[in-house]
Amino acid sequence: MAFDFSDFYIKYQGVPKYNSAELVEDDIIRVIIQKYELILFTIKGEVLGDPDFGANLDELLYETSVSEEYVRNIIVDQLNDYVPEIMGISFDIKVIFVQDPENYQDMMFINLTVADYDIITQIGRMT
């Protein structure tokens, strides 16, 4: 099944390889990464007409009974539901929770490996 994987170019200044002249993203891996980032940073219910879109990571970070595997499964389910371009492409997701009791904070690191890209995302504050 062939996909039209063109999407809006949504990078912003400060992102590596940002290009202010670009309007359309047409590399399938970069389209996957853009959609992945939208999923990670969207709270369920924020997208009008699709209350299931989003990973709710800010909320899950402070849950006491949530495992790394549970969060990983949520992200994989979201990718399978909302990123059809990822079908047939090998990828891996790792989730790690980190506690810093001295600064009273919790953090979550999510590592997506797809093709030659390795994307590490941090949820929570780092002082």
Helix (H) or strand (E) holding 75: helix 68-82
pLDDT band at 1 (very low <50, low <70, confident <90, very high): very low
- Beta-bridged to residue 50, according to DSSP, are none
Q: Give the pLDDT band of residue 113 (cuts 50, 70, 90).
A: very high
Average confidence (pLDDT) over 89-105: 84
Asked if residue 95 is part of any domain, the answer here is no
DSSP label at residue 29:
H
* Boundaries of domain holding 26: 7-89
**Domain presence at residue 106:** no
Distance CA 99, CA 75 (A): 21
Please indicate, yes or no, if residue 16 is contained in any of the structural domains: yes
Region 80-90: mean pLDDT is 88
Q: Does 115 score more than 80 pLDDT?
A: yes
CB count in 10 Å sphere of residue 62: 10
Instruction: Give a yes or no: residue 39 inside a domain.
Output: yes
What's this model's pTM, rounded to 2 decimal places? 0.75
Q: Is 108 inside a domain boundary?
A: no
Number of domains in the chain: 1
49 or 102, higher pLDDT: 49
Residue at 30 is within a domain: yes
When the pLDDT of each residue in the chain is averaged and rounded to a whole number, the result is 80
Q: In this predicted structure, what is the pLDDT of residue 65?
A: 78
Other Cβ atoms within 10 Å of 32 Cβ, number:
24
Is 54 exposed, middle or buried, given 0-12, 13-18 or 19+ CB atoms closer than 10 A? buried
3-state secondary structure of 82: helix
| pLDDT for res 3 | 52
Domain contains 21: yes
Q: Please say if the pLDDT value at position 9 is more than 80.
A: no
